[in-house]
Amino acid sequence: MTTPHISAPDGSFAPDVLMPGDPLRARHIAQTYFDDPQLITSVRAIEGYTGTWNGKPVSVMASGMGIPSMCIYATELFRFYDVQRIIRVGTCGSLQPAIGLNEVLIASSASTDSNVTTSYTGGLEAASNASPDLVRSASAASDSLGLKSHLGSIFSSDLFYHPDETINDRLTSLGFLGIEMEAAGLYHVASHERREALTIATVSDLLQGSGSLTPEERETGVGKMVELALQTLA
Ligand code: HPA
């Protein structure tokens, strides 16, 4: 099967897919966590791999950055490769002073300034929700791994370099835990395609404080989150 953005043999994607934003992180996840990872697509250098974890098939492929890129890849995976569940394993900025670098957010819902919601709903301001089963499973997996994770609402922004300098403070006051750029798109695609999705994100930037992960840490420093995602799917 070939789609405009993925060229992988029929049946080569596992029903469960991990999606980081970064293609190098996708390769790192496959090479570090999967047994017997096989490269199945590399269109635009977005490499997809399928391997096994604890004997169970699992795939990984990057979403790229931003809601439009996520929507392309998630739609093609669900619609043409029969993928059933996608867990985004991304990075985010923390909007709450009590949430520090390297801590993990489990996004039960995502609000957005993107048009993706109204495009999918014919104008309704519908909520963008993660799949309840995956939220429950991630929450239980986090407890069993003894992880310090935070369950709640995040904001999926269209702009990384936002012209409104008050935006982060406003989002903090509204109680959002973190900000990233893909979850709301993934949740609407999953709901439209009648499949399941969740976003888990490691804090890489502090927006109510100072500090950020280095590019190397962003690429590889995501071990706890990947274990959490794999355990969630187990
Ligand atoms: N803003 C938006 N998206 C992000 C950030 C951020 O600070 N960090 C990681 N993804």
Look at residue 219 and tell me whether its pLDDT is greater than 90: no
Reported pTM: 0.96
User: How far from 199 is each of 10, 39, 106, 144, 225, CA to CA, in Å?
Assistant: 26, 24, 6, 19, 10
Asked whether 33 and 56 are in contact (CB, 8 A), the reply is: no
Q: Identify the residue whose C-alpha is closest to ligand 1 atom 6.
A: 93
Asked whether residue 217 carries a pLDDT value surpassing 90, the answer given is: no
CA of 179 to the centre of ligand 1 (A): 6
Ligand 1 atom closest to 157 (CA) = 2
- Taking the CA atoms of residue 191, residue 193, residue 198 and residue 199 in that order, the dihedral angle to the nearest 10 degrees is -90
Question: Contact at 8 Å (CB) between 6 and 73?
Answer: yes
Taking CB atoms and a 6 Å cutoff, what residues make up the pocket around ligand 1? Answer: 91-93, 157, 160, 179-181, 204-205, 207
| Centre of ligand 1 from the C-alpha of residue 1, in Å | 34
Q: Residue 101 CB: number of other CB atoms within 10 A?
A: 16
What average pLDDT is seen over the chain?
96
Give the per-residue pLDDT at 150.
98
Average pLDDT over residues 101-125: 95
Q: Which residues are catalytic?
A: 205
Percent pLDDT > 70 in the chain is 99
What mean pLDDT comes out for the span 106-127? 95
**What pLDDT, in 10s, does the model give residues 52-90?**
999 999 999 999 999 999 999 999 999 999 999 999 999
Q: With 90 as the cut, is the pLDDT of residue 230 above it?
A: yes
Phi, psi of 189 (to 5 degrees): -60, -45
* pLDDT for position 221: 65
Query: Within the chain, how many helices (H) and strands (E) appear?
Result: 8, 9
16 has a pLDDT exceeding 90? yes
pLDDT of residue 214: 87
Is residue 184 very low, low, confident or very high in pLDDT (cuts 50, 70, 90)?
very high
pLDDT at 114: 96
CA of 109 to the centre of ligand 1 (A): 17
Q: Residue range 124-152: average pLDDT? A: 95
Question: pLDDT for 189-200, tens place per residue?
Answer: 999 999 999 999
